[in-house]
C-alpha cells in the first residue's frame, strides 16, 4: 500500500503553510480553525496550488519536487478529491458525473454507493447525503492512490450528518487508501479517523489518536478544539426513555439521546467531575478507574480516568491531591451526553 | 398632495419615454402597407444589400466567436498583472464613436496606413472590400460578445474546473466539457447581441469599406443610400430590421433562461440547496 510523503511550503496571505507529514493507508484527519491552511494543503497535493518549495511523493512516484523541477499537473496525479459542497457538475447527470473520470465501471460504482436509481437525476435534485455519495463515487472512479476530502460533512444538516458519519467511516476503513480529511469539527475528525493532526496558522501543532489529543492537548487551541470525549460502546434502549450504552470496559452509562448499535458517547470534558467516592447527586453515570494521566492547562487540569478525560480547575486538582495511578470516580449526567453512530 | 403629484410625474415620464421610443418604429409600418413592404424587399437593391449584410456578418461573427471565446476564458480564469487594463482595451470600441473606428481602421490597414506597406507587399488591399466590412463589424461588435463571455465564464464556480482537472481531464477537455456547457447561456446571449450590433454597423463600415452596391453596401448603408431615390426600399429594409431586432431581443432574454433550466435541472424548484 502507498505512503504519502510530503514536505512543503506554500506562502499564504498572512503566513505560510509549512508542513512535513507522512500518511500510510488509513485516514488522517486535519483539524483546525478556518484559514489555517487545511484546504490549501489538499489543493497543493492535488496540483491545484504550487508550493514554493518542497516535495510530494506517493509511493515511488514523485508528484512535486521543487529542487528537481518536477510538478505534475492535476490530471496526472492519481488523486481523488471530494470538494467542499462536492462541486458536482450541475449540467451532467449523476451517471455522467461518475463516468467523467472512469473509463468503465461507473455502473458498478453507482450500485456500490446505492445511487443507481438516481443515475439520470441531476445534482440539483439530490439531497445533501446523496450528493456526498455521488461525490465519493466520482472521486473513486479514477481508482486514485490518494484520497482527499475537504469538509465532507459541512454541507449536511445535523440529522443527516450523524447517519452519514457512520457510512463514511466504514467506507474509508474498507478503502484502505491513504486519506486526508479536512474538518474544523473535532467530533467529525474523531469519528472518521483513527489519527488526527491539528493545523493552526500553517503549522502542525499536534498529531495523534483523538483520545490522546483530548487527554493531553499540546496547547490552548487544541484544548478548545478537542473539548469533548468520544467513548465507543454499544447502545440499546433502557427504562425511562433512556439509552444504556455498554462501553468496551464492560461498564454501562446512560444517555438521554436515542441510539442503537455501535455508538460513540460524546461528553464535554468540563461536564465530567472527579471525586474519590461516587457522590450522592443527580448524575446517573459513575465510572471508577485509576488516573492514567494529569495534564495541566493553565488554571485547569485534564485528568484521564479510564476512557474519559475530565477537565477540572487546578485548584480542585490540588484540593483533592490527585495523583497518577490512584483510583477515582468520574461522574457525568445522562443529559450531558450525546450519542454519535459509529458502526 | 406632493407625493401624489410625484406619482403622476413618474407616470408622465414613463408614458413620454414609451411614446417617443415606439413612435418611429410604428411609423415604419404605418407609412407603407405590409404587402408593399414585402414587395420592396424583393427589389434588386434590397436583396443585394441583405446578401452582403448576411455574408459579412456571418464571417465576422465566426471570427468573433473563434477568437473571443478563448480570450474571454483566459481573462475570466487567470489573474495576471495588467488584466484589468487588457479588459479595458477590449471594451474600448464600445464607447468609441463609429466614425473614429472607421478612420482608425483606415489608419491601420489603409494603403498609406500603419500596415499598408506590408499588406501591399502581400498583394492585399483591404479598404473598400468585403474584408473591410468584416473587419469593421468585428471591431465594433466583438466587445459585446467578449464582455458577456467573460461574465459567463467568471460565473462558473472555479471548483468545478478544479474538479474536472482532478478527475483526469486536461485544460482543453475541462474547457470543452465543463466551462463551455456551463457558460452556454451567457455566451449565447452575448453572441446574439454582438450579431445584432454587427448587422446594424454603419459608421465604421461606410468610412473603411465604402458603399458599393453588391459588394460592400450592407443593409444599413442601403437604407441611407435609398433615402432620396427610393424611400420605400429604405422603409422596407427598416421594417425588416425592426422585426429582426425584436427577435434578437427575445433571443437574448430567452437563451439564458432556456439553457439554464435545460442544463441544471428540469425542476426549477429543486435548485435550492436541499439537505
Asked if pLDDT for residue B16 goes beyond 90, the answer is yes
Domains of chain A from N-terminus onward: 4-217 (3.40.50.300), 228-336 (2.40.50.100)
CATH number of B52-211: 1.10.3720.10
> What number of C-beta contacts closer than 8 Å exist between A and B?
84
| Chain A residues touching residue B273 (CB < 8 angstroms) | 128, 155
The answer to whether B65 and B231 have CB atoms below 8 angstroms apart is no
Q: What is the pLDDT of residue A93?
A: 94
The answer to whether A185 and A217 have CB atoms below 8 angstroms apart is no
Asked if pLDDT for residue B271 goes beyond 80, the answer is no
| Strand (E) or helix (H) holding B76 | helix B44-77
Q: What is the pLDDT of residue B111?
A: 85
Q: What is the pLDDT of residue A186?
A: 83
Phi then psi for residue B11, to 5 deg, are -65, -40
Phi then psi for residue A105, to 5 deg, are 90, 5
Q: What is the pLDDT of residue A220?
A: 66
ipTM above 0.85, yes or no: no
Q: What is the pLDDT of residue B273?
A: 37
Asked if pLDDT for residue B258 goes beyond 80, the answer is no
Q: What is the pLDDT of residue B266?
A: 37
How buried is B64 (Cβ within 10 angstroms: 0-12 exposed, 13-18 middle, 19+ buried)?
buried
* Rounded Cα distance, A36 and A46, in Å: 18
* Rounded Cα distance, A308 and A287, in Å: 9
Q: What is the pLDDT of residue B9?
A: 96
| Strand (E) or helix (H) holding A306 | none
* Grid cell listed for B129: 472590400
Which of the residues B155, B168, B174, B274 would you substitute to probe the A interface, choosing the one with the greatest number of A C-beta atoms within 10 Å? B168
Sign of the Cα pseudo-torsion (B226, B227, B229, B235, in order):
positive
| Chain B residues touching residue A89 (CB < 8 angstroms) | 160, 163-164, 178
More confident residue, B174 or A211: B174
Instruction: Determine the average pLDDT of the residues in B200-210.
Output: 94
Q: What is the pLDDT of residue B263?
A: 45
Query: pLDDT tens digits for B80-128?
Result: 999 999 999 999 999 999 999 999 999 999 888 898 888 888 888 899 9
Which of 149-208 (B) contact A at CB < 8 A?
Answer: 157, 159-160, 162-170, 177-178, 181-182
Per this entry, what is the length of chain A?
343
pTM for the full predicted model: 0.80
* Rounded Cα distance, B103 and B94, in Å: 16
Residue B260: pLDDT band by 50, 70, 90 thresholds? low
Q: Which residues of B128-138 are buried (b: 16+ CB within 10 A; e: fewer)?
A: bbbbbbbbbbb
Q: How many CB atoms lie within 10 A of CB B24?
A: 10
Does the beta carbon of B263 lie under 8 angstroms from any beta carbon of chain A?
A: yes
Does the beta carbon of A105 lie under 8 angstroms from any beta carbon of chain B?
A: no
pLDDT along chain A (343 residues), means of 10: 92 92 92 89 96 95 95 95 95 94 84 92 92 94 94 84 82 92 87 90 90 76 78 90 91 90 86 90 91 84 89 91 92 88 67
Q: Do A79 and B160 touch (CB under 8 A)?
A: no
Q: What is the pLDDT of residue B264?
A: 44
| Chain A residues touching residue B185 (CB < 8 angstroms) | none
Residue whose C-alpha is closest to residue A168's, from A143, A132, A194: A132
Amino acid at each position: 500500500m502507498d505512503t504519502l510523503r510530503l514536505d512543503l511550503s506554500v506562502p499564504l496571505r498572512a503566513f505560510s503553510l509549512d508542513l512535513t507529514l507522512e500518511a500510510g493507508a488509513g485516514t488522517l484527519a486535519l483539524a483546525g480553525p478556518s484559514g489555517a491552511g487545511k484546504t490549501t494543503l489538499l489543493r497543493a497535493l492535488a496540483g491545484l496550488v504550487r508550493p514554493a518549495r518542497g516535495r510530494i511523493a506517493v509511493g515511488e512516484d514523485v508528484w512535486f519536487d521543487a529542487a528537481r523541477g518536477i510538478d505534475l499537473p492535476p490530471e496526472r496525479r492519481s488523486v481523488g478529491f471530494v470538494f467542499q459542497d462536492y462541486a458536482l457538475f450541475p449540467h451532467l447527470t449523476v451517471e455522467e458525473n461518475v463516468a467523467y473520470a472512469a473509463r468503465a465501471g461507473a455502473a458498478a460504482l453507482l450500485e456500490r454507493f446505492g445511487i443507481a436509481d438516481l443515475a439520470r437525476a441531476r445534482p440539483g435534485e439530490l439531497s445533501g447525503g446523496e450528493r456526498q455519495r455521488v461525490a465519493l463515487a466520482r472521486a473513486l472512479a479514477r481508482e486514485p492512490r490518494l484520497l482527499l476530502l475537504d469538509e465532507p460533512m459541512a454541507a449536511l444538516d445535523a440529522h443527516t450528518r450523524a447517519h452519514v458519519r457512520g457510512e463514511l467511516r466504514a467506507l474509508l476503513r474498507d478503502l484502505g487508501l491513504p486519506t486526508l480529511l479536512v474538518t474544523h469539527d473535532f467530533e467529525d475528525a474523531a469519528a472518521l479517523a483513527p489519527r488526527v493532526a491539528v493545523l493552526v496558522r500553517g503549522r502542525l501543532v499536534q498529531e495523534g489518536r483523538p483520545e490522546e489529543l483530548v487527554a493531553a492537548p499540546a496547547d490552548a487551541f487544541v484544548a478548545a478544539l478537542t473539548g469533548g470525549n468520544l467513548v465507543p460502546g454499544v447502545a440499546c434502549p433502557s427504562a425511562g426513555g433512556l439509552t444504556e450504552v455498554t462501553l468496551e470496559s464492560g461498564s454501562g452509562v446512560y444517555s438521554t439521546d436515542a441510539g442503537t448499535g455501535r455508538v460513540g458517547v460524546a461528553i464535554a470534558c468540563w461536564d465530567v467531575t472527579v471525586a474519590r467516592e461516587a457522590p450522592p447527586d443527580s448524575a446517573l453515570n459513575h465510572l471508577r478507574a485509576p488516573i492514567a494521566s494529569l495534564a495541566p492547562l493553565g488554571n485547569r487540569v485534564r485528568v484521564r480516568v479510564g476512557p474519559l478525560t475530565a477537565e477540572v480547575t487546578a485548584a480542585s486538582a490540588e484540593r483533592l491531591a490527585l495523583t497518577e495511578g490512584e483510583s477515582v470516580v468520574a461522574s457525568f449526567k445522562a443529559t450531558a451526553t450525546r450519542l454519535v453512530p459509529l458502526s | 398632495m406632493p407625493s401624489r403629484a410625484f406619482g403622476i410625474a413618474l407616470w408622465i415620464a414613463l408614458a413620454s419615454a414609451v411614446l417617443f421610443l415606439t413612435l418611429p418604429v410604428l411609423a415604419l409600418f404605418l407609412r407603407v402597407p405590409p404587402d408593399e413592404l414585402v414587395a420592396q424587399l424583393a427589389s434588386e437593391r434590397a436583396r443585394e444589400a441583405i446578401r452582403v449584410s448576411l455574408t459579412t456578418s456571418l464571417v465576422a461573427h465566426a471570427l468573433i466567436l473563434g477568437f473571443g471565446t478563448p480570450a474571454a476564458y483566459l481573462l475570466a480564469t487567470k489573474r495576471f498583472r495588467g488584466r484589468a487594463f487588457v479588459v479595458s482595451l477590449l471594451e474600448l470600441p464600445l464607447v468609441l464613436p463609429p466614425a473614429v473606428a472607421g478612420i482608425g481602421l483606415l489608419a491601420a490597414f489603409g494603403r498609406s496606413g500603419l500596415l499598408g506597406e506590408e499588406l501591399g507587399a502581400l498583394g492585399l488591399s483591404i479598404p473598400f472590400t468585403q474584408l473591410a466590412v468584416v473587419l469593421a463589424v468585428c471591431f465594433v461588435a466583438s466587445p459585446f460578445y467578449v464582455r458577456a463571455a467573460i461574465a459567463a465564464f467568471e460565473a462558473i464556480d472555479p471548483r468545478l474546473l478544479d474538479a474536472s482537472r482532478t478527475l483526469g481531464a486536461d485544460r482543453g477537455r475541462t474547457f470543452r466539457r465543463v466551462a463551455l456547457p456551463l457558460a452556454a447561456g451567457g455566451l449565447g446571449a452575448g453572441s446574439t447581441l454582438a450579431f445584432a450590433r454587427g448587422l446594424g454597423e454603419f459608421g465604421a463600415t461606410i468610412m473603411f469599406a465604402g458603399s458599393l452596391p453588391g459588394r460592400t453596401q450592407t443593409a444599413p448603408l442601403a437604407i441611407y443610400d435609398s433615402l432620396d431615390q427610393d424611400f420605400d426600399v429604405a422603409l422596407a429594409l427598416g421594417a425588416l430590421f425592426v422585426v429582426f431586432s425584436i427577435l434578437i431581443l427575445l433571443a437574448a432574454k430567452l437563451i439564458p433562461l432556456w439553457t439554464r433550466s435545460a442544463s441544471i435541472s428540469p425542476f426549477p424548484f429543486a435548485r435550492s440547496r436541499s439537505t
